Amino acid sequence: MSAPVPTPTASQETRRRRIELLPAGGGGRFAVARAPYLRDGVGVRGYLGAFALALVPAVLGAVALFGLHVLAVIALSYAVGLLMHYGFSRLQRRPRPDEGILLTAMLFALVLPPNPPWALVVLGSVFAFLAREIFGGLGRYPFQPALVGKALLVILFPAAMARFWEPLAGGAGFAQWAPAEPATQTPLTAVLQGQEVPLGTLLGAQPGLLGGAFAGLLLLGGVWLLFTRAVDWRIPLGMVLTAWLGGGLLTMLYPEVLGPSGLVHLLSGGFLLAAFWLAADPVTSPMTPRGKWLFAIAVTLLIVILRGLIPWPEEAIVFAVLMMNALVPWLDRVAAPRPFGSSAGGQGQGGKKG
Amino acid sequence: MAIVGTLKTFKGGRYFPRLQGLPRGPLREGPVPPRVHLPLRQGFGEEPDPLVEVGQRVRTGEVLARSDEKISTPVLASLTGTVVRVEEGVHPLDGEPTTVITLEADPEPYRDDWAPLDVPRGNFERWGPEELGRILYEAGVTALGKWGFPTPFRTAPAEPSAIRALLVNAVEAEPYLRGDRALLFEEFEKFVTGLKILKSALGNIEVHVGLGYDLPHVLEELEARMEYHDWLYLHPLLPKYPQGEDEVLIKTILNEEVPAGRPPTDLGVVVCDVQLVVAAYEAVVEARPMVDRVVSIGGSAMAQPVNARVRLGTPVGDLLEQFGNQGPSRVIVGGPLRGSSVTDVDAPITREARALVALEEPRSPSVTTRWGFLPGADSHVRLLPPFGREKRATTALVGGTKPCIRCGDCVDICPQNLFPIELAEAGERGDLERAEELTIFACIECGLCSYICPSKIDLLEGIRKAKRWIREERLED
Ligand code: SF4
Ligand code: SF4
């Protein structure tokens, strides 16, 4: 019962011509080539850009408090950053521009004192971008570059870096926002010297770092970051809770060195800037969940303790974060997650084809 | 009484937003195609030996290939017609060589002539596991599921006697996969009886059904219908991808971990899906061999997204023609996260093909690299509140590969608690020992790490490569 072997019919041939299937990777550079074929739409730009965007309220607050020159400081920081990045990426043949600059330049400007000398802004930016670019730029730097720049400035020019300004220093109308005189004290130094500072002051304007002066606005940006899940919640939340509870405990034990309460530590000295941005920078913080918790707790306790010990309490966040950055690879190793199914020794045959 | 557990879920994973082109509407009956290609290696297992010759006439449901001594399941003719080719070809999904049998349908007027299964009379509850296993085997049902369904005919890595629990995966979470849902709605009676059949086929076991909690009426109905069966456990689950994967389902429902790279039968557990349950009913009660399956046909480039019963071996070109593909697109057999893209309109639908997805492909990089995220693509959900409208899924890379920014999102999303970037980097360095130390074979290739990475690093591809090297190295030893 054998039938002749039919040849493809005409309709099948036309069909074959009408439907065009793209080969894997058909779209070339713009399309994924292999499964998974869907990719999340959030890229590095969206990710790190969100961090920079969340700083906008704090920048506006700083402009209102200290004057328009704040914008010039930020612009200068971006200009130096872009130039340095351009040079280095040419040397190292890396793609340009890299989105991380959005964040690094902004953070560097915000950890400066409110009215820094121009020369120091440039010098610090150069330091910061050196710390970023010699390691290979985006994703490769082990230490938060903005903080490296700041740390070098503090060590080289401690006096210039300690000139904080008193916001809201009298006057009427718009003039009341202009800085009047350098403040000798920030709430943090005052508290550490045993003076009372009402908590209300801490949430509003206070003398301090350029970006850390308005804790309420930082909190606003931070909550937006948490809400949009651009920042991993473990580090900011871990730091806030540790400052409140752990800081509270430490200050109870050593009130004369560490000040009266954990809440003051939480709301002053740019702590929120550290919690949501500087320490939480994805590049220089651990990747594993447990590592993030350990990192957050250690950074916070270091900040609280350093504030009592070093001559520049306002800069405690800088040194604490940098110190913990050095431990990140180790933290990731000891806190690596335990894969499910590894108890059996992981000596599987792997896949159905063995 | 059927026991209902609490709402459960697992670590990691991801909900997907509503995507354009989800299959909807009633289950459609696909037409009988003019020709079908049947790769002999279907589903889990080895390739059975062909029993037919070129030129031979076959009826729908007739056995084309069968080997009782190999771990395999018979391949059946899915239409009435003539064998026109038996030759070496490649499997449409993995590209590995296999024998392919091509059948040509009878000319008009076409008559679908079925070869019914050899099924005894009476109530299936009295037939015993041996007989039920034979029917399921001969019906071709046992090849469904990642690791097959155990019968006395060597259809899975374990004997039926080693099995203590059957898990039914009735939660579909991968985008565009809607076939099981359609079957639950339309063939509910078959599903209920099918559960009893499978339970009888495996002897004295527990049956756990994991059901999406977004289908509460199905859950209630099932609870009411199975009131007197205390071997049945119902588990409402969050429909989060990849809840349906064997390893994840077992971890969620039984809280046991499948040893890395081993089949679940090592734990005495079998996982099957709704499709298998319904096909078991049709085989045992209706004596109907499994010659078709429900395929979810959808995607942003599909004009008419539907769920359809499709004859096995149907070329994807036939389906694309019928359900309307607008212009060129990337065509994927299986879901968009786990499937394989096909480049040949003749690539057939096989037993494991749950879906046929056509996605638009970006032709220019404009928006994607300018803003870092593509308006309307499956995204913004994280940076902007979701707007409740349907997202348009494409295969856009969204920005091009960048260095890893160490965000840890891949660690967070991995349902197997792995360290994807560490694995991929170890693979890159050729440090296979480190990769094994990190239990690389626990990776179930769900693809979520590649999906979520903001730097758009293809982590899964790196892991696959490392796995391949390790396997090759083991073969050499
Ligand atoms: S490592 Fe494997 S299991 Fe984990 S997310 Fe990636 S593909 Fe999925
Ligand atoms: S998700 Fe991508 S960028 Fe983030 S840690 Fe993993 S590999 Fe790196």
Instruction: State the CATH number of the domain containing residue B256.
Output: 3.40.50
Are residue B9 and residue B139 in the same domain, yes or no?
A: yes
Q: Which regions in chain B score pLDDT beneath 50?
A: 365-388
Is the entire prediction scored with pTM above 0.90? Answer: no
Q: Which of B254, B284, B314 is the last residue of a domain?
A: B284
* Protein residue whose Cα sits closest to atom 3 of ligand 2: B404
Give residue B111 CA to ligand 1 midpoint distance, Å: 47
Q: Is B418 in the pocket of ligand 1 (CB under 6 A)?
A: yes
Q: Is A287 in the pocket of ligand 2 (CB under 6 A)?
A: yes
Q: What is the ipTM of this complex?
A: 0.85
Helices A289-309/A234-241 angle, 10° precision: 40
Whether B315 maps to a domain, the answer reads no
Residue A36 near chain B (CB below 8 Å): yes
- Chain B residues within an 8 Å CB radius of A32: 395-397, 458
Q: How far is CA B48 from the centre of its chain?
A: 21
pLDDT of residue B379: 40
Q: Please answer yes or no on whether B261 and A351 come within 8 Å at the CB atom.
A: yes
> Which of A39, A94, A102 is best to mutate for the B interface (most B CBs within 10 A)?
A39
Q: What are the counts of helices (DSSP H) followed by strands (DSSP E) for chain A?
A: 18, 2
Give residue A285 CA to ligand 2 midpoint distance, Å: 12
pLDDT of residue A35: 79
Q: Which ligand is nearest to the CA of B337?
A: 1
Whether B230 maps to a domain, the answer reads yes
Please list the rounded mean pLDDT of every run of 10 residues in chain A (354 residues): 41 53 55 76 79 91 83 94 90 79 92 87 95 89 95 90 59 40 65 68 73 86 84 93 90 80 82 94 94 96 89 88 96 91 52 34
Taking the domains of chain A in order of start, what are their residue ranges?
44-335
pLDDT of residue A31: 63
Give CA–CA dist B131/B117, Å, rounded. 12
Residues with Cβ within 8 Å of residue B255, at least 6 apart in sequence = none
pLDDT of residue B373: 37
Hey, is B3 helix, strand or coil?
strand
Location of structure tokens 């606003």: A220
Tokens representing residue B253 in the block:
């429902």
In sequence order, the β-bridge partners of residue B391 are B19
In chain B, the number of structural domains is: 2
Q: Are A257 and A193 in contact (CB under 8 A)?
A: no
Give CA–CA dist A313/B374, Å, rounded. 44
Q: Are A240 and A258 in contact (CB under 8 A)?
A: no
Give CA–CA dist B106/B110, Å, rounded. 6
Whether B271 maps to a domain, the answer reads yes
Q: Please answer yes or no on whether B400 and A5 come within 8 Å at the CB atom.
A: no
Whether B338 maps to a domain, the answer reads no
Calculate the average pLDDT of chain B.
86
Give CA–CA dist B172/B239, Å, rounded. 7
pLDDT of residue B374: 36
Tokens representing residue B311 in the block:
């004859």
Whether B234 maps to a domain, the answer reads yes
What distance separates the 2 farthest-apart alpha carbons in chain A? 108
Q: Are A185 and A202 in contact (CB under 8 A)?
A: no
How many CA within 13 A on the CB side of residue A156?
Answer: 10
Q: Are A304 and A246 in contact (CB under 8 A)?
A: yes
Neighbouring C-beta atoms of residue B317, cutoff 10 Å: 22
pLDDT of residue B362: 67
Whether B39 maps to a domain, the answer reads no
* Protein residue whose Cα sits closest to atom 2 of ligand 1: B443
Give CA–CA dist B117/B380, Å, rounded. 52
Q: How many residue pairs bridge chain A and chain B with CB atoms within 8 Å of each other?
A: 308
| Host domain of residue B415 | 401-476
